[in-house]
Homo-oligomer: A and B are copies of this chain.
Amino acid sequence: MKLSTAEENYLKAIFKISEKANKSASTNAIARHLSTSAASVTDMLKRLSEKGLINYEKYKGVTLKSAGIKQATQLIRKHRLWEVFLVKKLRFSWDQVHEIAEQLEHIESEELIMRLDAFLDYPKFDPHGDPIPNADGKFTIRSQTPLSDMHKGQQGMLVGVKDHTTEFLKYLNSLNVKLGTMISVIDSVPYDGSMNVNLDSKKEIMITSIVAQNLLIRIG
């Protein structure tokens, strides 16, 4: 089934909201996510429901049907593969690729994505450490812990970031923190959750709780 860009964006939004909250997505949540009005969302939900992509009952929120999940997953796959392309091949920095991938993900061609995947050597994670679903929609799972949950003395490698905003990523750039950076917890301040950490056994810095919450570490 051929979907419009708008329809695809709704499916992706519903997928992400349901995934995060692990429940049905509300009209308002979708509207917020897509910066649109609740009324527009209701309209679109009716259309997506007609097309058999979502379970929608008035006032009850929505969940994706299997066809909808498939579409959403393929969009995420495409988005993340394009991000890898932009960073690895075109040498964009990880804070510059989201918007462009947001457009590229709507390009229609199975063959293109197959070949892109091969060209990039079947990457399993994107430049922000998010897993790239394979052609069947399967995500690679990896154990990871927010730095904020780690304790004094623990260490591990930065494998992902939760916040994808340019501002956050640029801040990490300024600290020279990137995927692969080894981080060990020197100590943490119970009062405000801020932490002193060591980077690659070289530099010691202090980070706030909010930053620590957005850094995903593979401990060990």
Q: Write the residues of chain A forming the contact surface with B, with a CB cutoff of 8 angstroms.
A: 86, 89-92, 96, 99-100, 103-104, 107-109, 111-112, 115-116, 119
Contact partner of A107 (CB less than 8 A), chosen from B90, B104, B115, is B104
Are A116 and B90 interface neighbours, CB within 8 A? Answer: yes
Are A115 and B90 interface neighbours, CB within 8 A? Answer: yes
Instruction: Report the copy number of this chain in the oligomer.
Output: 2
Nearest-neighbour CB distance to chain B for A86, whole angstroms, equals 8
Are A90 and B112 interface neighbours, CB within 8 A? Answer: yes
**Given A103-B107, A103-B108, A104-B107, A115 and B96 contact (CB-CB distance below 8 Å):** no
Contact partner of A115 (CB less than 8 A), chosen from B92, B99, B111, is B92
In Å, the complex CA distance between A155 and B58 comes to 73
In Å, the complex CA distance between A68 and B89 comes to 32
In Å, the complex CA distance between A112 and B91 comes to 10
21 A–B contacts from the bound complex (CB under 8 Å): A86-B112, A89-B89, A89-B119, A90-B112, A90-B115, A90-B116, A90-B119, A91-B115, A92-B111, A92-B115, A96-B111, A99-B109, A100-B107, A100-B109, A100-B112, A103-B107, A103-B108, A103-B109, A104-B104, A104-B107, A107-B107
Q: A90-B116, A104-B104 are in contact. List 18 more A-B contacts (CB 8 A).
A: A86-B112, A89-B89, A89-B119, A90-B112, A90-B115, A90-B119, A91-B115, A92-B111, A92-B115, A96-B111, A99-B109, A100-B107, A100-B109, A100-B112, A103-B107, A103-B108, A103-B109, A104-B107
In Å, the complex CA distance between A111 and B86 comes to 11
Contacts of A112 in B (CB 8 A): 86, 90, 100
